[in-house]
Amino acid sequence: MLIETLSVFPEMFDTVMSTSILGRASRAGLFEFRAHDLRDWTHDRHRTVDDEPYGGGQGMLMKVEPIFEAVEAISASGPRPRTVFFTPCGDRFDQACAERLAGCERLLLVCGRYEGMDERAYDLADERLSIGDYVLTGGELPAMVVADAVVRLIPGALGDEMSPVDESFSTRPSGGLLEYAQYTRPASFRGREVPPVLLSGDHARVDAWRRADAIERTCRWRPDLIDGAGLTPEERDRARELVARYHGPDARPARE
């Protein structure tokens, strides 16, 4: 897999993409990363990538010409990338999106700056994404978030192939819930004990406890996820009780 970014600050990616899981996966040849400098496609001595918006207003906008030239030049070499732009108008990035993008042969993540981009630049986008309802100074951080979420889904990146399956928000048939609570040594810390079942060595009981705990944690902290979780009828009845306990009897029940 090839992941590329287009940005006016390509150096921002150096540490993130070479450290920890992403760094190990890159060194193992599981994916390749390239950071492109948008200023390489400018044609004036100041390497200008922004200009004042027509009609007035605050701030500066990224110019359309260098973005078009860059994306077209990058795309012309090798297989056509899936081109992603970051914007508040985009679809909310989630685990399902990460899993879909992880299946792409090549990704190009285009990072905006300033007050945004000339609207015509978005004609190049295969999709527009947003990582949340807040304002950032640029698209580099969202690109890092997407790259991290995608790379860890590449087979072999985490070492344990089951790691992404059991995590929060997984879209696998058994997923859709927050991850269960986890513990390590010591078994007792300042009066707080590890649940005895986790010390039992009985894998069936441990699995059952983890499933029940995942449902309870989701009902407590993210009840909005319950509707999309793959629950049995018995688990759904239990979820209704838990949602009512944590959020009151008028809380919206899990769907049949």
Per-residue pLDDT band for 166 (boundaries 50, 70, 90) equals low
CATH superfamily ID and name for 166-256: tRNA(m1g37)methyltransferase, domain 2 (1.10.1270.20)
Which residues are bridge partners to 106 per DSSP? 2
| Res 253 pLDDT > 60 | no
The pTM of the full predicted model, rounded to 2 decimals, is: 0.88
Q: Where in the chain is the domain with CATH 1.10.1270.20?
A: 166-256
- Stated as kind and residue range, the H or E segment containing 84 is strand 82-92
Question: Burial, 100: exposed, middle or buried (Cβ in 10 Å; 0-12, 13-18, 19+)?
Answer: middle
Fold of 2-151: Alpha/beta knot (3.40.1280)
Average pLDDT over residues 215-221: 97
Q: Where in the chain is the domain with CATH 3.40.1280.10?
A: 2-151
Mean pLDDT of the chain: 93
CA–CA gap between residue 202 and residue 21 (Å, rounded)? 31
| Res 256 pLDDT > 50 | no
In terms of Cα–Cα distance, which of 188, 193, 254 is closest to 225? 254
Which residues are bridge partners to 2 per DSSP? 32, 106
Average pLDDT over residues 17-36: 98
| Res 169 pLDDT > 80 | no
CA–CA gap between residue 118 and residue 64 (Å, rounded)? 6
| Res 73 pLDDT > 50 | yes
pLDDT above 70 covers what percent of the chain?
A: 92
CA–CA gap between residue 224 and residue 243 (Å, rounded)? 10
